[in-house]
Copies of this chain bind each other. A is one copy, B any other.
């Protein structure tokens, strides 16, 4: 009986409960991402993070030694998904189809990770001083690699001549705008809040305009 009770407890500990540390660190990171994304590093109080994550402040400091460390952890966390959508840009696909898939994926990612997207924007806006050097290096490399794919498409006559780097910037900025500048987007579209249909309309406009714009001229 004591044994049965123990194994039940262990089950709870291992699954639903998970490891205490992992669970609490995640709680803190989630709350921090939300707050940092809205008020920035300096604008966010440790007390707020504690409150939103449901932990006393002292407990937050048990897992992280400073506010900046929490911030860096949130940045490190979101960096992982930065180049996800880029996988669509691959040399063996049809350009139009690949670019359209990329736009869709980017918009979808922004819509489903609004806080992370905003936090990333905030960090870059403030000079990217907390972005680890290796993360930036990785971003540079991936961008250069995908730019080569675009160049190959242009060389093969499948796309009108275009500077791939500026094109990427166009796509990044357009797809992230709706999450980052939601307030402005709502004003422009004259809606109270963005819905999935607005994101779909955005995807259509961006895709149609850019794809038509890049159609090779004979």
Binding site for B on A (CB under 8 A): 38-43, 118, 121-122, 124-128, 131, 136, 139-140, 143-144, 160, 162-163, 165-170, 172-174, 176-178, 180-181, 183-185, 187-190, 201-202, 204-206, 208-215, 217
Contacts and interface: CB of A to CB of B under 8 A. Distances in A.
15 contacts: A43-B43, A121-B180, A122-B125, A124-B181, A125-B180, A139-B184, A143-B187, A166-B206, A167-B209, A169-B174, A169-B178, A169-B185, A170-B205, A211-B213, A212-B217
Q: How many identical chains are in the complex?
A: 2
Given A209-B213, A212-B215, 12 more contacts: A38-B126, A40-B43, A121-B125, A124-B183, A136-B187, A139-B187, A144-B190, A166-B205, A169-B177, A169-B202, A170-B209, A212-B214
Contacts of A41: 43
B42 A184 contact: no
Contacts of A209: 162, 167, 170, 209-210, 213-214
B121 A181 contact: yes
Contacts of A208: 160, 162, 213
A190 B178 CA distance: 27
Contact of A174 (B125, B162, B174): B174
Contacts of A43: 40-43, 126
Contacts of A174: 169-170, 173-174
Contacts of A140: 187-188, 190
Contact of A168 (B162, B166, B188, B210): B188
Contacts of A125: 118, 121-122, 125, 180-181
Given A42-B39, A177-B172, A201-B163, A127 B183 contact: yes
A201 to B, nearest CB: 6
Nearest to A119: B125
A104 to B, nearest CB: 14
